[in-house]
């Protein structure tokens, strides 16, 4: 008769963690428990495949920071997982380790090394944009007594009002702009997809004044000309537009020392500003997705996170100091005795 090996301390601990601790003491949802179970199952499978340690023979001495780092690295190689997924699985393993340290104090030293493992930093970067006050100040800078100043204002107003990508602005032709009601601009987006977006009447009048300067409205043959170009009628380039924006940002900063401006500027900052201002005005995110020419609303949601943070900061700033001080915590001797007993 074949005698089965008794469960190891690790196996007993995993069982109690999943069947008693998580649903009972921590009152976690079944979905969260399944997520924790999956992380442990994958890690146990990794120990088997990488070190030849069968699940029924795993002991706490096998649970090390190095093995967990190897497990997480293997997931990145095989699954190309996101930082969020990486961090969720690491968090699940750390939760088990914290529980295991209480159950088996001899695991404390190795467990602490595991708990010290850093999370993966997200690749997302901070979105730079101009507040409405800063955007208004930027548009007030161009010298309207000069043709170049009126051109720069028309370009920046169109860039902001349409939320256009830089290449969409560069490709914009005279015939793509409708100056009578309803005023619109037709943009050639990614994948050569066309979209028509509304422009404000004020922007239309600014562009109309610029087009008069250039003689675009006097000749029907001008329809295929690029709307924005240098003074010698050469098509604008990305570096050229960058220089114009940077020059006007410097002027706006000098003229408005009390207004907060970003350190640097480029065309996408104007596009991001438009998206966030639309969200602040309560425009539906699906409408903004279509307005910006995004294929998926997921892309548009990055601006939603910025808008939510701005709302939270504003609420926090306005919150009255109702609580003068946090009451001092008084030691619970019974609780401390219980923790001491668990760790002994």
Per-10-residue mean pLDDT of the chain, 344 residues long, equals 65 90 85 87 92 91 94 74 83 95 94 92 74 96 94 96 94 94 92 89 95 85 85 82 96 94 94 94 92 88 72 50 40 40 37
CA distance 279 to 273: 10
Domain boundary assignment for the chain:
9-123, 132-318
**pLDDT score of 27:** 83
Q: Contact at 8 Å (CB) between 70 and 45?
A: no
Half-sphere exposure of 292 (CA within 13 A, CB side): 28
**pLDDT score of 26:** 87
**pLDDT score of 315:** 42
CA separation, residue 59 to residues 16, 36, 169 (Å): 15, 19, 63
Q: Contact at 8 Å (CB) between 206 and 154?
A: yes
**pLDDT score of 332:** 39
**pLDDT score of 301:** 84
**Range 132-318 has CATH code 1.10.443.10:** yes
Order the strands of the 194-198 sheet from edge to edge: 177-178, 184-188, 194-198
Tokens of 43: 């890690």
Q: Contact at 8 Å (CB) between 312 and 304?
A: no
pTM: 0.57
Q: Where are the beta strands (DSSP E) in 52-94?
A: none
């Amino acid at each position: 008769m074949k005698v089965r090996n008794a469960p190891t301390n690790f196996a007993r601990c995993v069982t109690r963690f999943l069947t008693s601790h998580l649903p009972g003491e921590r009152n976690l949802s079944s979905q969260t428990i399944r997520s924790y179970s999956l992380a442990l199952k994958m890690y146990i499978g990794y120990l088997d495949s990488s070190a030849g340690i069968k699940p029924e023979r795993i002991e706490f001495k096998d649970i090390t920071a190095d093995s967990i780092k190897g497990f997480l690295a293997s997931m990145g190689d095989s699954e190309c997982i996101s930082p969020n997924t990486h961090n969720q699985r690491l968090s699940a393993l750390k939760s088990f380790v914290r529980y295991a340290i209480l159950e088996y104090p001899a695991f404390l030293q190795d467990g602490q090394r595991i708990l010290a493992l850093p999370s993966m930093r997200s690749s997302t970067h901070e979105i730079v944009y101009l507040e409405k006050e800063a955007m208004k100040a930027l548009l007030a800078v161009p010298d309207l007594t000069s043709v170049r100043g009126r051109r720069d204002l028309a370009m920046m107003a169109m860039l902001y009002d349409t939320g256009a990508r830089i290449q969409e602005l560069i490709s914009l032709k005279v015939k793509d702009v409708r100056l009578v009601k309803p005023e619109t601009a037709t943009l050639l987006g990614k994948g050569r997809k066309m979209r028509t977006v509304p422009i404000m009447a004020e922007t239309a009048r600014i562009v109309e004044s610029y087009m008069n300067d250039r003689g675009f409205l006097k000749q029907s043959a001008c329809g295929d000309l690029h709307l924005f170009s240098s003074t010698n009628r050469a098509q604008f380039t990305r570096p050229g537009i960058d220089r114009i924006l940077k020059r006007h940002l410097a002027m706006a900063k000098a003229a408005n020392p009390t207004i907060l401006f970003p350190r640097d500027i480029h065309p996408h900052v104007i596009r991001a500003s438009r998206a966030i201002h639309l969200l602040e005005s309560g425009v539906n995110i699906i409408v903004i997705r279509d307005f910006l020419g995004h294929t998926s609303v997921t892309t548009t949601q990055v601006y939603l996170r910025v808008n939510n943070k701005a709302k939270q900061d504003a609420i926090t700033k306005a919150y009255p100091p109702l609580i003068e001080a946090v009451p001092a915590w008084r030691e619970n001797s019974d609780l401390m005795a219980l923790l001491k007993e668990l760790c002994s």
